[in-house]
């Protein structure tokens, strides 16, 4: 992938957010060959952005490959890491995904389910922009923390 094709610029303000920093950390953690070691953050996060042109290139129906599935897991794991940092309790993500790209993502803290997302068309997982990706992550994080705040005893179990 050439630099001019990237949908995220190297000076995008989203790259300085805690979410983007954690997502880059998660992506590097799942990279078994060290490919991402020398890549800048904007290049690592670029596949999460699906512009209209990129969406047109993807089929409407398709099976997700292991790279896309790993990207989905990294996204939700980054949110779980932020939940842990915020409340000090262990957050765990669970995925159930069919080979066709349909399933569910759950996040639990203790015995409390703090996130339950239906996954559809995972082969087309992405966001229109980096800021939309961060907004979605912030929304999921705030809802999870609100649920934990409402039920602290269950979250601490």
Q: What is the mean pLDDT of residues 60-71?
A: 88
Task: Pick the closest to residue 72 from 18, 7, 122 (CA basis).
Answer: 122
* Spatial distance between the Cα atoms of 122 and 101, rounded to a whole number of angstroms: 5
Of 43 and 5, more confident: 43
Q: Which of 95, 52, 88, 90 is nearest to 71 (CA)?
A: 95
| pTM for the whole structure | 0.91
pLDDT tens string 74-91: 999 999 999 999 999 999
Domain 12-155: give its CATH architecture. Answer: Orthogonal Bundle (1.10)
Q: Domain locations in the chain?
A: 12-155
Alpha helices, DSSP H only, in the chain? 18-29, 41-45, 52-57, 66-87, 130-150, 152-155
Query: What is the share, in percent, of the chain residues with pLDDT greater than 70?
Result: 97
Query: Residue 156 CA to chain centroid, in angstroms?
Result: 25
CB 48 within 8 A of CB 135: no
């Amino acid at each position: 992938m050439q630099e001019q094709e990237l949908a995220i610029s190297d000076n995008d303000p989203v790259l300085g957010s805690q979410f983007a920093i954690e997502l880059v950390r998660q992506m590097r953690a799942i990279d078994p060959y060290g490919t991402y070691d020398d890549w800048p953050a904007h290049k690592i996060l670029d596949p999460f952005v699906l512009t209209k042109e990129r969406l047109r290139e993807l089929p409407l129906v398709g099976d997700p490959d292991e790279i896309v599935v790993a990207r989905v897991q990294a996204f939700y794991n980054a949110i779980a890491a932020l939940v842990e940092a915020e409340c000090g309790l262990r957050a765990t993500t669970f995925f159930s995904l069919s080979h066709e790209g349909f399933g569910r993502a759950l996040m639990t803290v203790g015995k409390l389910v703090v996130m339950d997302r239906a996954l559809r068309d995972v082969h087309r997982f992405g966001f229109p922009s980096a800021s939309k990706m961060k907004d979605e992550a912030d929304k999921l994080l705030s809802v999870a923390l609100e649920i934990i705040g409402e039920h602290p005893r269950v979250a601490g179990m």
